[in-house]
């Protein structure tokens, strides 16, 4: 059977199963099986019976709402990739904006002749830390993850990058860096417990709950970041924290009300939804 025919049939199957991007996912899975790219599928290469059988298995798993990245074994993010699978949060494209903000802040310090100290709290797969180390190699990048299975994925993904990865709690990590950090970045858990039913099946059933849920209002981790961030950052240092699109006022409000910060601002993603906040520790 030719590739295009297989992809069309798979896309219909995935769409009927409620997959949000059936055409993309169907093509990505076949490209993975064939060891090629989605673009090359337009040449309509033939698919061997064994490849078609493997493809059918993957499509069935995707129709069961297993994350695409788990099936591929990898997630792409800015200019890097990370290995992902059960036990670690799958990076989302919208988080690239938060990583880009941290990269810009670190790069500006390099341009000024400084060696920036950057900390990634709740690193998960390590993808933000890896992106910063990749794009700002002069930076001293540190990362921490509390969940041992996720930490194991981060260990694999950050090997050879020079990132200082630790197993620990964001509330107490990096006592040796108190008052020395230039840029603090975090994609913490922020889903309210009451929002359980609204979480996408792929995330609810496959992402670690420790990486998703954060108290009744989803702001517990951000409250910890408010306190710990002010301790870790040097005067004038900056923090960036991702949040849910429904927290465009409540998440920045945590930092605004604490009195520890200035220049508290919220930022929208490419779809125009509130996505992350930034603030500066007063000089």
Binding site as annotated, residues? 145, 187-190
DSSP string, 200-269: -HHHHHHS-GGGTB-STTS-HHHHHHHHHHHHHEEEEEEEEEE--GGGTTHHHHHHHHHTS-EEEEEEE-
Nearest to 243 by CA among 208, 263, 226, 267: 267
Binding-site sequence positions for substrate: 187-190
Between CA 55 and CA 36 the distance in angstroms is 13
Label residue 272 exposed, middle or buried (CB < 10 Å: 0-12, 13-18, 19+).
Answer: exposed
β-pairing, 181-186 vs 140-145, is unpaired
Alpha-helical (H) ranges within 64-94 are: 68-72
Binding-site sequence positions for S-adenosyl-L-methionine: 145, 187
Between CA 130 and CA 30 the distance in angstroms is 28
CB 123 within 8 A of CB 167: no
Distance, C-alpha 160 to centroid of its chain? 20
Between CA 21 and CA 103 the distance in angstroms is 29
Nearest to 106 by CA among 264, 282, 237: 237
Element (H, E) at 182: strand 181-186
């Amino acid at each position: 059977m030719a590739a295009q025919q297989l992809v069309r049939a798979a896309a219909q199957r995935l769409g009927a199963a409620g997959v949000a991007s059936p055409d993309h996912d169907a093509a990505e899975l076949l490209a993975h099986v064939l060891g090629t790219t989605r673009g090359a599928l337009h040449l309509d290469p033939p698919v061997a019976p064994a490849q078609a059988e493997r493809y059918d298995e993957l499509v069935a798993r995707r129709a069961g709402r297993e994350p695409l990245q788990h099936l591929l074994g990898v997630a792409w993010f800015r200019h890097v990739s990370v290995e992902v699978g059960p036990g670690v949060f799958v990076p989302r494209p919208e988080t690239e904006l938060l990583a880009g903000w941290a990269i810009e802040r670190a790069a500006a310090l390099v341009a000024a002749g400084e060696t920036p100290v950057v900390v990634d709290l709740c690193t998960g797969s390590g993808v933000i830390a890896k992106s910063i180390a990749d794009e700002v190699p002069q930076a001293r990048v540190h990362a921490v993850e509390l969940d041992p299975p996720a930490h194991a994925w981060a260990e694999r993904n950050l090997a050879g990058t020079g990132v200082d990865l630790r197993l620990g709690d964001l509330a107490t990590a990096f006592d040796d860096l108190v008052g020395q950090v230039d840029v603090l970045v975090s994609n913490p858990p922020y889903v309210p417990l009451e929002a359980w039913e609204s979480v996408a099946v792929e995330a609810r059933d496959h992402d670690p709950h420790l990486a998703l849920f954060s108290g009744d209002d989803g702001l517990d981790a951000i409250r910890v970041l408010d306190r710990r961030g002010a301790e870790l950052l040097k005067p004038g240092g900056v923090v960036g924290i991702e949040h849910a699109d429904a927290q465009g006022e409540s998440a920045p409000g945590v930092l605004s009300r604490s009195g520890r910060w200035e220049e508290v601002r919220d930022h929208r993603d490419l779809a125009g939804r509130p996505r992350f906040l930034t603030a500066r520790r007063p000089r």
